[in-house]
Chains A and B, each alone.
Chain A
């Protein structure tokens, strides 16, 4: 089954404790992206990747890191999480920028 998977689905952590949210797709897509969804703000793009070893900042990259060492994986790293990073996070992939398929979301709470 073609899908984008994210783990964990729910995470509660404390300020400053490094965490990684994994994202994996099995559709051989070149384009992958991370978004955060906040009430009243819609989805905002954090980082995106056009291919392996190619990543770029989206609109809200501060406080986040990503890597794309393999085509299928695109982890989101929060080196020192803060409460303002409490949000719902979505990973997405697509063959290019003409379509995106989304993962199920990760709800992160930073205390």
Chain B
């Protein structure tokens, strides 16, 4: 069975602080994809990143970076120098190659205080 756990329900940081959102996944499949989505207060779901299970290289995109570690089944997301516009709910998700479903975590609500 597949599962995604986002243990942090809510996080508050002061603007310009760095913040890391944790994501732990469970699967027995060796081929899978991991995702992060952002849901701002307006409600839409915005795709941020996809990583496949064979690519453990960390990725950086501007102030965003992702750390994928298969050894700990984690796919953590760091925002550097947070801004008020980063305030949103962030979801981590998993899909496996042998199945056709997506599995989402329960989300982490990030509030950046000016």
Contact = CB atoms under 8 A, between A and B. Distances in A.
Contacts, number: 58
Contact of B47 (A59, A90, A101): A101
Interface residues of B, number: 24
B68 interface: no
A104 B45 CA distance: 7
Contacts of B93: 43
Interface stretch (A16-24, A44-52, A63-71): A44-52
B50 to A, nearest CB: 6
Given A31-B100, A97-B100, A104 B44 contact: yes
Given A100-B47, A102-B44, A50 B102 contact: no
Interface in B33-59: 33, 35, 37, 43-45, 47, 50, 52
Interface residues of A, number: 25
Interface of A is mostly: strand
Interface string A60-92: 000000000000000000000000000010101
Interface of A: 31, 33, 35, 40-45, 48, 50, 56, 58-59, 88, 90, 92, 97-102, 104-105
